């Protein structure tokens, strides 16, 4: 029996109270993704080195490399525990429940403006190239073209947003989905960070939440299951704990804690953390522009 350490409150409730039935969708060293038979949504078992996230439970295991799990293995619940065939049993007793609660957008945005400068400087120095951040030293023509496409499409997308041209913004956002390297492509990661900023309570971009839903509708056929699920969660304001912490400190935090939180996000994936952070920066800047345009009270 393996102990569940912490987890998304809705996933825990589904296991404990509602019954959960699914099968293994994908297996990695640090995570196992489970597809729910009822909804088709993905849920994640994460190793103890990872942070909390939506539809995720962190369990007391270092790695799944030697777990002998296989794709399509059945996953079910019984007696307050989650089972994968007869291979793993995970106890929900004493689990710490986690809920994604985004911070409120501040009335005074002076600290936010200062922090955005810090974040951009840190990304410029420490962010990973190859996705939304261009690698100026590469001579690979495919990579050069991919990075240019990402930047040009992101620029057109953001221009449409600040001009309140939602139809054009959706068209440009759709052209970002599935674009770029990685299990979760760079364009998807950028949109994940950006869409989360439209769910900050009291923010100037609250009216774009319907835009988020339309992006997800477009995304299902344009990217892989794992990236689609990440976008779907972000479109509803649900992101990983490390991203929530970064958003909180970006809005009101001091430099030392802000840099530490940013470093944690930059560690995500290969370039995913950098792409997400750049999406957060862009989303917060759109919020600032919308406020200046009078879309906030």
Domain ranges of the chain: 2-98, 110-292
Q: What is the CATH code for 2-98?
A: 2.40.50
Cα–chain-centroid distance for residue 63? 22
Query: For the chain, what's the residue count?
Result: 297
Between CA 295 and CA 291 the distance in angstroms is 5
Q: What is the pLDDT of residue 130?
A: 87
191 touches 277 (CB < 8 A): no
The answer to whether the beta carbons of residues 53 and 2 sit under 8 Å apart is no
At residue 75, the pLDDT reads: 97
Pick from 37, 35, 23: nearest CA to 69? 23
Residue labelled with tokens 């309140």: 164
Q: CA 143 to CA 149: how far, in whole Å?
A: 10
The tokens describing 145, both together, are 């073209």
Residue-level pLDDT at 11: 96
Nearest to 57 by CA among 101, 13, 1: 13
pLDDT tens profile 13-41: 999 887 899 999 999 999 999 999 999 99
**Residue 238 to residues 10, 36, 40, 175: CA-CA distances in angstroms?**
12, 18, 18, 23
Indicate the burial class of 134 (C-beta count within 10 angstroms; 0-12, 13-18, 19 or more).
Answer: middle
Distance CA 158, CA 282 (A): 8
Tens-level pLDDT at each residue, the chain (297 residues): 999 999 999 999 999 887 899 999 999 999 999 999 999 999 999 999 999 999 999 999 999 998 899 999 999 999 899 999 999 999 999 999 999 999 999 999 999 999 999 999 999 999 999 899 988 888 889 989 999 999 999 999 999 999 999 999 999 999 999 999 888 999 999 999 999 999 999 999 999 989 999 999 999 999 999 999 999 999 999 999 999 999 999 999 999 999 999 999 999 998 999 999 999 999 999 999 999 998 865
Using the CB atoms, write b or e for 255-283: b if 16+ within 10 Å: eeebbebbebbbebbebbbbbbbbbbbbb
Q: Say if pTM beats, i.e. exceeds, 0.85.
A: yes
Strand partners, 59: 4
Let me know if 192 is exposed, middle or buried by CB neighbors in 10 A (0-12, 13-18, 19+).
buried
Residues 6 or more apart whose CB falls under 8 angstroms from that of 34 comprise 22, 23, 24, 25, 42, 43, 44, 45, 75
């Amino acid at each position: 029996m393996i102990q569940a350490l912490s987890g998304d409150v809705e996933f825990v409730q589904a296991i404990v109270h509602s019954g959960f039935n699914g099968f293994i969708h994908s297996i990695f060293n640090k995570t196992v993704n489970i597809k729910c038979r009822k909804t088709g949504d993905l849920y994640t078992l994460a190793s103890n080195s990872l942070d909390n996230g939506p539809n995720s439970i962190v369990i007391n295991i270092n790695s799944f490399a030697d777990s002998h799990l296989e794709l399509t293995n059945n996953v079910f619940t019984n007696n307050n525990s989650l089972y994968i065939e007869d291979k793993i049993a995970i106890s929900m007793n004493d689990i710490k429940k986690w809920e994604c609660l985004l911070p409120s957008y501040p009335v005074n945005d002076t600290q936010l403006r200062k922090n955005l400068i810090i974040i951009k400087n840190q990304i410029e120095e420490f962010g990973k190239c190859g996705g939304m951040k261009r690698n100026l030293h590469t001579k690979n023509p495919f990579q050069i073209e991919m990075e240019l496409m990402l930047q040009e499409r992101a620029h057109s997308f953001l221009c449409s947003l600040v001009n309140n041209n939602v139809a054009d913004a959706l068209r440009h956002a759709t052209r970002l989905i599935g674009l770029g390297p990685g299990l979760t492509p760079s364009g998807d990661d950028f949109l994940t960070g950006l869409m989360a900023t439209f769910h900050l309570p009291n923010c100037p971009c609250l009216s774009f939440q319907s835009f988020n839903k339309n992006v997800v509708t477009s995304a299902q056929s344009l990217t892989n299951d794992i990236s689609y699920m990440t976008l779907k969660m972000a479109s509803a304001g649900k992101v990983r704990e490390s991203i929530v912490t970064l958003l909180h400190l970006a809005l009101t935090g001091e430099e030392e804690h802000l840099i530490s939180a940013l470093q944690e996000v930059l560690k995500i994936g290969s370039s995913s953390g950098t792409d997400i952070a750049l999406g957060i920066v862009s989303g917060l800047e759109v919020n600032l522009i919308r406020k200046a345009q009078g879309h906030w009270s």
